Structure 1
Amino acid sequence: MAVALPGVVEELLSEMAAAVRESARIPDEHLLSLKFIFGASAVQALDLVDRHSVTLISSPSGRRAYQVLGSSGKTYTCLASCHYCSCPAFAFSVLRKSDSLLCKHLLAIYLSQVMGTCQELSVSDKQLTDILLMEKKQEAS
């Protein structure tokens, strides 16, 4: 079962997707709402989307993970199905302090889906497992 975003965020992303389908752009009022909800993370996430930093990695079994090339040059593995990112900001601001809904990497995933700019990569089940295990090893060190 997927974890749901707060209703206001779901509604905003839905309206943004409809606007992109209709006019191929996001209206300014939606961008302002995004900035109001997410603060500086919204601008940073939009920058990641503009740089095509989001890649959906899928395997034949239907498992999916995202990798986001962060502004620092480090790649973070994210699981949108449960709103998880391997970045330190997620651990601190989202999980520990609870002062953010999402980190900029997760927000970039949702925005890249809305805007249709998410890159896609199909890999074998073993390759996806290796990617996830590699991320776990990097977190532990």
Structure 2
Amino acid sequence: MAVTLPAVVEELLSEMATAVRESARIPDEHLLSLKFIFGSSAVQALDLVDRQSITLLSSPSGRRVYQVLGSSGKTYICLVSCHYCSCPAFAFSVLRKSDRLLCKHLLAVYLCQVMGTCQQLSVSDKQLTDILLTEEEEEHKGTN
């Protein structure tokens, strides 16, 4: 079974994508809906998009991973296929407490996809593996 976002979020992102295709902008009512659903994370995610902090890494094998340069200067890994981010806020607020749907990094990735503003970088399969392994090592250092 595929992991999906709640229907209201899927619908909002879909409507935003349609609006961007038709008018090259996100209507104010969609931005207000985003703020209502995600609170301050919506503004922070839009800031990450504005600062072009999201990069799609793709490898010859077809693997796709997003890197997000957070406001603190740390880079996080986001996997849209399973709605995952390597940041502490995701682990705590989304996974542990379940009081948020997404962290600002993952929301920024979805917004970047909607707006078609993702930076893209092709890497080898080995490079992508090394990036993922480095991220895992960093996470373990933080918990030890």
TM-score (norm 1): 0.98
**Count of matched residue pairs:** 141
Runs (4+) of structure 1 exceeding 3 A deviation are: none
Structure-2 residue corresponding to 1:47: 47
Q: Structure 2 matches for 1:93-132, cutoff 5 A?
A: 93-132=93-132
Q: Which amino acid aligns with 1:74?
A: K
Partner of residue 36, structure 2: 36
Query: In the alignment, what sits opposite 1:56?
Result: 56
Structure 1: distance between partners of 2:47 and 2:103: 13
Q: Which amino acid aligns with 1:118?
A: C
Aligned to 2:26, the other structure's residue is in SS state coil
3-state SS of the aligned residue for 1:117? coil
Secondary structure, counterpart of 1:66 in structure 2:
strand
Supply the RMSD in Å over aligned alpha carbons.
0.7
Report the Cα distance in structure 2 between the residues aligned to 1:17 and 1:119, rounded to whole angstroms. 17
Whole-angstrom distance in 2 between the partners of 1:86 and 1:2: 20
Q: 1:109-130 deviations in whole A, cap 9, x for unaligned? A: 0000001111001001010000
Q: CA deviation at 1:136?
A: 0.3
Distance 2:2 2:71 in 1: 28
Q: Which residue of 1 aligns with 2:11?
A: 11
Measure the CA separation in 1 of the matches of 2:13 and 2:2: 16
Q: SS at 1:105's partner residue?
A: helix
Q: Give the Cα–Cα distance (whole angstroms) in 1 for the partners of residues 2 and 127 of structure 2.
A: 23
Q: Give aligned-pair identity as a percent.
A: 86
Change (3 A) 1:9 1:53: same
Gaps of 5+ in 2: none
Q: Which secondary structure state, in structure 1, belongs to the residue aligned with residue 98 of structure 2?
A: coil
Q: Secondary structure at the match of 1:65?
A: strand
TM-score (norm 2): 0.96
